[in-house]
Amino acid sequence: MTAAVVDIDTALEQYDPVMGLEVHVELNTNSKMFCGCPTTFGAEPNTQVCPTCLGLPGSLPVLNAAALESAIRIGLALNCEIAEWCRFARKNYFYPDMPKNYQISQYDEPIAYNGWTEVVVDGETYRIDIERAHMEEDTGKSLHVGGATGRIHGASHSLVDYNRAGIPLIEIVTKPIVVPGDKAAAVAKAYVGMLRDLLRALGVSDVRMEQGSLRCDANLSLKPRGASELGTRTETKNVNSLRSVERAVTYEITRQAAVLSSGGRVTQETRHWHEDTGITTPGRGKEQAEDYRYFPEPDLLPLAPSREWVEELRATLPEPPATRRTRLQAGWGFTDLEMRDVVNAGAQELIEQTVALGTSPAAAKKWWLGELARAANDAGAELDDLGVGPEQVAAVQKLVDDGALNDKLARQVFDGLVNGEGTPEQIISARGLALVSDDTALSEAVDRAIAANPDVVEKIRAGKGAAVGALIGAVMKEFRGQADAARVRELVEDKLSS
């Protein structure tokens, strides 16, 4: 059932959105948070389990020190204070994919709190305040079988894969984000994108949204423009791409605005985002707030990371995003406007990686913001999700630099890459895109062109040098554009000057 919506401009004329973003990050530690099981993604179900992550009677958790280190580094990178003393807590609720029927999490004593970060949208910088970043263990994964939708409703039975149970998670929670309404969705997207880049730079997570290693829940409420009192919020889950973050926020603004402007009340609830239809639907009803009966986890000792250690970890942090942006822009020689386009397209990291592989900044920008951005837009995807990486862009540009391709052919190679037709070499061969630079073939073609166009030859010999273009054009036509135009010119000039 699709809810009534109003268009976004109408919604923002009447209401200001207030957002809160909760991002779950799966850490890329070798072992799970509280046991030694491996964390490899995509293993056979229930092969990466032990008594502890299965919650068998008698088993106990032992904290993975690498997870704590990552948590602290994330906290520091988000300008948080790091707790001098904190504890884990048990969050109690029954669910089959929760082995112990409680989750080891942190409650009122998070490892990191009171931070901030910033994002840039359309050249404008927005500060995002961070409430907390805390550690917790992931749950298992339920697979609902026998229904039409794969959701629990209508399913005949469920299967649970506990490989994911106990994978270390960091939950990063923002304070309420208040930005101009027309920027809210873009800021949300930019924030998650910034986090993704930051976490990648920290080396703490694979940050693969499509694999669930970075997951975003978007809390959103509306208040009448200028009002100070917050409205009722919804929490939208299952937002699994950067583009979805933007779309889901926009959708909720328009849906809630429709509810409010028709005199209704927004229900406080969890909603599910549907990537395919672009709407949210109500999740399980939460008439009453669930009582998780949090209490300090007695199986684990309190944490008291020493200040010396915290400072050591601070020294390992990558460059802050703003400094980094300024440095890259200067190094690349991009104007402010060009850099804004790069950031807006989410291409900064991609260009950096491409340049690192030997491509000139201008060429890297040309492909990422041109051909590839267009392809992403057509596919409704982000640049990251195109399936084309910096290695491939650098490889194609190398072929251009070497004269094996021209820009026109390179565009066709990118088209092939986006369509998953294989490596650049495979595409060039399959599509027959190689530039002809075989002198014998070119020379024969030039001879044919000279013979076929005596009038043009006459003009050239009479001093009209520009007429050379016509002969080159004839040769290029014969090779359907796949000849090395510079070499053709040389050959024509050689032959006519002799």
Partner 1 sequence: MGDLTRKTAVELAELMSSGQAGSAEITQAHLDRIAATDEAVHAFLYVDTDGALAQAKAIDERRAAGEQLGPLAGVPLALKDVLTQKDVPTTAGSKILEGWKPPYDATLVARLKAAGIVILGKTNMDEFAMGSSTENSAYGPTRNPWDLTKIPGGSGGGSSASLAAWQAPLAIGTDTGGSIRQPGAVTGTVGVKPTYGGTSRYGLIALASSLDTPGPCARTVLDAALLHEVIAGHDPLDSTSIDQPVPPVVEAARRGSVEGLRIGVVKELGGEGYQSGVEARFREAVELLTKLGAEVTEVSCPHFQYGLPAYYLILPSEASSNLAKFDAMRFGLRVGDDGELSAEEVMAKTREAGFGAEVKRRIMLGTYALSSGYYDAYYGQAQKVRTLIQRDFEKAYEQVDVLVSPSTPTTAFGIGERIDDPLAMYKNDLCTIPSNLAGNAAASFPCGLADEDGLPVGFHVMAPVMKDERLYAVGAALEAALAEQWGGVLMTKAPELEVAGR
What tokens were used for 260? Answer: 């409010």
Q: Produce one character per residue of 356-368: b if its CB has 16 or more CB atoms within 10 Å, e if not.
A: ebebebebbbbbb
Residues 15-54 that bind partner 1 (CB under 8 A): 51, 54
Residues 290-329 that bind partner 1 (CB under 8 A): 291, 293-295, 298-301
* 101 lies in the site for partner 1, by CB under 8 A: yes
Query: Which part of the chain contacts partner 1 (CB under 8 A), choosing from 91-99, 271-279, 330-338, 424-432?
Result: 91-99
**What DSSP assignment string belongs to 250-277?**
HHHHHHHHHHHHTT-----EEEEEETTT
* 158 lies in the site for partner 1, by CB under 8 A: yes
Query: Which part of the chain contacts partner 1 (CB under 8 A), choosing from 61-69, 173-181, 357-365, 425-433?
Result: 61-69
State which residue, 62 or 330, has the beta carbon closest to partner 1: 62
- Coil, helix or strand at residue 479: coil
Site for partner 1 (CB under 8 A): how many residues?
Answer: 30
Tell me the backbone φ, ψ of residue 430, rounded to 5 degrees.
-65, -40
Q: Produce one character per residue of 422-435: b if its CB has 16 or more CB atoms within 10 Å, e if not.
A: eebeebbeeeebeb
- Coil, helix or strand at residue 133: strand
Query: Using CB under 8 A, which of 58, 333, 420, 463 touches partner 1?
Result: 58
Q: Is the Cβ–Cβ distance between 111 and 73 less than 8 Å?
A: no
Site string for partner 1, 128-157 (x = CB under 8 A): -----------------------------x
* 13 lies in the site for partner 1, by CB under 8 A: no
* 227 lies in the site for partner 1, by CB under 8 A: no
Q: Cα(35)–Cα(434) distance, rounded to whole angstroms?
A: 54
Query: Using CB under 8 A, which of 17, 55, 110, 321 touches partner 1?
Result: 55
* 96 lies in the site for partner 1, by CB under 8 A: yes
Q: Is the Cβ–Cβ distance between 115 and 82 less than 8 Å?
A: no
Q: Is the Cβ–Cβ distance between 191 and 223 less than 8 Å?
A: no
Site string for partner 1, 230-259 (x = CB under 8 A): ------------------------------
* 63 lies in the site for partner 1, by CB under 8 A: yes
The site for partner 1 (CB under 8 A) is made up of 51, 54-63, 90, 92, 94, 96, 99-102, 157-158, 160, 291, 293-295, 298-301
